[in-house]
Amino acid sequence: MGKVFKALADPGRRLLLDRLHAENGQTLGQLCGHFDMTRQAVTKHLKLLEDANLVVTLWRGREKLHYLNPVPIHEIAERWIGKFERGRLRVLAELKQQLEGENDG
């Protein structure tokens, strides 16, 4: 789990996950299109995300596609969020979102 938190600690890597969340299965080239970072920097970030199992890659034909793997984040939620808290938390999160607008800090 240490690897997961370390991977999530960087805002650039969180943005990469956001891009995959918006559209799963992108190539390196597609992902680079969203950022000012160099190709090398994006590759490095993706490697760290992959090591933490937050991103999974698949070869399809000649393309290497990147997928967001929801498992590690789900495991974090399972560990610290109780079954009965889930509904209330969702309502509060929606309220916060409505009041503040989308904000991913």
Residues that bind another protein (CB under 8 A): 23-26, 53, 56, 58, 65, 67, 69-71, 74, 78
- The residue (of 9 and 58) whose beta carbon lies closer to another protein is 58
- The residue (of 21 and 96) whose beta carbon lies closer to another protein is 21
Q: How far is the CB of 23 from another protein (least distance, A)?
A: 7
Whether 79 and 40 have beta carbons less than 8 Å apart is answered as no
Q: How far is the CB of 79 from another protein (least distance, A)?
A: 12
CA 17/CA 27 separation, integer angstroms: 13
- The residue (of 17 and 69) whose beta carbon lies closer to another protein is 69
- The residue (of 12 and 70) whose beta carbon lies closer to another protein is 70
Q: How far is the CB of 56 from another protein (least distance, A)?
A: 5
Q: How far is the CB of 13 from another protein (least distance, A)?
A: 18
DSSP secondary structure letters along 41-100: HHHHHHHHHHHTTSEEEEEETTEEEEEE--HHHHHHHHHHS-TTTHHHHHHHHHHHHHHH
DSSP secondary structure letters along 20-51: HHHS-SB-HHHHHTT-SS-HHHHHHHHHHHHH
